[in-house]
Homo-oligomer: A and B are copies of this chain.
């Protein structure tokens, strides 16, 4: 089964390639076989979603949905970096998951699963990655979750 058909089965349409970064940096850098994806936030169709904190404005399940949306945007950037050919992904090496939350929130792992699950759904074993999930006091534009990635690319 191709990755494109998996995405279709999941009902995921990738955001258009070339969505500009929010600032004077680029959304990805492909250097040798290493692809670095900039921190992706909860933007859908150009609109920022999930403004608030997990454990406050949002439940853990909503936090998971926010992390999944970040991961969809990561897929969009990977696709843009690879000219649309997601089959060139060798391995999702690492996700960094930043969850905006109050000091008493302790379910960053559950939130991060929203992103982690999607990677495995799309890439199978190649989507199994190392991860660091932490709680932070705030994120750009007030979004609830930000996720970045390091990806190994086939030659």
Residue of B nearest to A117 (CB): B24
Closest approach, in angstroms, between the C-beta of A141 and any C-beta of chain B? 5
Q: Which B residues are in CB contact (< 8 Å) with A28?
A: 130
**How many subunits of this chain does the assembly comprise?**
3
- In the complex, per-residue mask of A90-107: 1 if CB is within 8 Å of any chain B CB, else 0: 110111101011111111
Q: Is A131 within 8 A of B23, CB to CB? A: yes
A39-B134, A136-B135, A137-B102 known; A26+B129 contact, CB < 8 A = yes
Q: Is A38 within 8 A of B138, CB to CB? A: no
Q: Which B residues are in CB contact (< 8 Å) with A37?
A: 130
A129 contact from B29, B102, B132, Cβ within 8 A? B29
A152 in contact (CB, < 8 A): yes
Q: Which B residues are in CB contact (< 8 Å) with A23?
A: 109-110, 112-113, 116, 131, 133
A24-B116, A132-B148 known; A140+B36 contact, CB < 8 A = no
Q: Which B residues are in CB contact (< 8 Å) with A133?
A: 23, 39, 140
Closest approach, in angstroms, between the C-beta of A146 and any C-beta of chain B? 6
CA of A29 to CA of B102, assembled, Å: 31
Q: Which B residues are in CB contact (< 8 Å) with A29?
A: 91, 93-94, 128-130
CA of A90 to CA of B120, assembled, Å: 30
CA of A91 to CA of B30, assembled, Å: 10
A32-B152, A103-B138 known; A95+B25 contact, CB < 8 A = yes
